[in-house]
């Protein structure tokens, strides 16, 4: 039947959830409306701005362009699951310290793209960083500081200063 609710099991920020959702529900809608995790932003809802970026199984994806049911059985991390309690993730820390924040709307997406990048490539080149956040638009053009902050975070995570 059209619109019939379907069961969905997934892990979000380390916690297991079970839902019954309308099949047309987008992942970003589930995160924001059901779980009240509003860090993933709805910017364009059209796969253009990257503000809704989350990590699924460690990879950066756009939660506005995935049906919630397609994340069934997978592990989702949102910006709310990046810090360790009150201890910021090195990427967040570097962005705060380096002033890599403008109005803040694109920042969660930037962090999630950077987190996925550093997860698979601990020592990215500047080009690789640019490529990783290419899909995250910053309306304030704050790209340079973001790139530098990600470089700083990568260095810190590798054990440098």
Partner 1 sequence: MIADFEYFAPKTVDEALSLLSKYKEEAKIIAGGQSMLVVMKRGLLSIEHLIDIKGIEALDYIKYDEKEGLRIGALTMHRAIEKSPVIQKHFGVLSEMERNLATIQTRNWGTIGGNLCHGDPAGDPAPVFIALNAKLKLASLGKERVIEMEEFSQDYLEVALEPDEMLIEIQVPTPPSHTGTACDKLMVMKGDMGVVGAAVSITLSPGDGICKDARIALSNCASTPLRAREAEKKLIGKVVNDSLLVEVGEVASTEATPPVDVHGSAEYRQEMVKVLVRRAATKALERAKAA
Binding site for partner 1 (CB under 8 A): 1-4, 6, 22-24, 26, 45-47, 50, 53, 56, 59-62, 65-67, 69-70, 72, 113, 116, 131-132, 134-135
Q: How far is residue 122's CA from residue 114's CA, in Å, rounded to a whole number?
A: 10
- Taking the complex as a whole, the smallest distance from the CB of residue 160 to partner 1 amounts, in Å, to 25
CA 54 to chain centroid: 3
- Taking the complex as a whole, the smallest distance from the CB of residue 57 to partner 1 amounts, in Å, to 9
* Residue number, 126 or 134, with CB nearest to partner 1: 134
What are 69-74's contacts with CB under 8 Å, separation 24+?
69/6, 69/8, 69/21, 69/23, 69/25, 70/27, 71/8, 71/10, 71/27, 72/8, 72/9, 72/10, 73/9, 73/10, 74/10, 74/11
* Residue number, 97 or 128, with CB nearest to partner 1: 128
* Residue number, 1 or 86, with CB nearest to partner 1: 1
* Residue number, 96 or 123, with CB nearest to partner 1: 123
């Amino acid at each position: 039947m059209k619109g019939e609710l379907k069961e969905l099991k997934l892990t979000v920020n380390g916690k297991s959830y079970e839902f019954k959702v309308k099949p047309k529900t987008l992942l970003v809608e589930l995160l924001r409306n059901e779980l009240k995790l509003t860090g993933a932003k709805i910017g364009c809802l059209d796969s253009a701005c990257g503000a809704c970026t989350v990590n699924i199984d460690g990879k950066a994806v756009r939660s506005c362009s995935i049906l919630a049911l397609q994340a069934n059985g997978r592990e989702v991390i949102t910006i709310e699951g990046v810090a360790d309690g009150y201890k910021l993730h090195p990427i967040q820390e570097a962005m705060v310290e380096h002033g890599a924040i403008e109005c803040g709307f694109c920042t969660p997406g930037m962090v999630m793209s950077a987190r996925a990048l550093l997860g698979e490539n601990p020592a990215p080149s500047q080009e690789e960083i640019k490529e990783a956040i290419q899909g995250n638009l910053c309306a304030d053009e704050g790209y340079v500081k973001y790139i530098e902050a990600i470089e700083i975070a990568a260095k810190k995570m590798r054990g440098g200063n």
